[in-house]
Amino acid sequence: MYGARRSTLIDRLVRFTEGIARTGRLFARLTAGRTDWSPTGLYAAAATARFMAAHELIDRAEAQVGDDPDVDLAQVRTPLWFGSTTLHEEN
């Protein structure tokens, strides 16, 4: 039990230092002016974010299906409010 508490404490400490490092990198990037927050960059990020999220869901669904012969992943579509795009379709 003592070892589990120590590893939990070390885990929390590592996560805390990673968060501080991430915040420091963001602050350094913002002060250096190396961000691409132009309207074109923001539009590109918004346009590609839905496809990245959808492909992540495709990968998760394929991982859950695995080698199960009874399940077939035939089609993945985004909802109507995201533009109703077909992302994955097998014939």
pLDDT digits (tens, 9 = 90+) for 41-72: 778 888 788 778 777 877 887 788 877 778 77
Please tell me the pTM assigned to this model.
0.41
β pairing state of 75-77 and 86-89: antiparallel
Q: What distances in angstroms separate CA 27 from CA 7, 32, 33, 41, 42, one per listed residue?
A: 30, 8, 10, 19, 19
Q: Are residues 41 and 79 in the same domain?
A: yes
Q: Are residues 45 and 26 in the same domain?
A: no
Q: Are residues 47 and 18 in the same domain?
A: no
Q: Are residues 1 and 45 in the same domain?
A: no
Q: Are residues 30 and 42 in the same domain?
A: no
Domain that holds residue 86: 37-91
Q: Are residues 59 and 49 in the same domain?
A: yes
φ and ψ of 77, to 5 deg = -130, 150
Q: Are residues 79 and 57 in the same domain?
A: yes
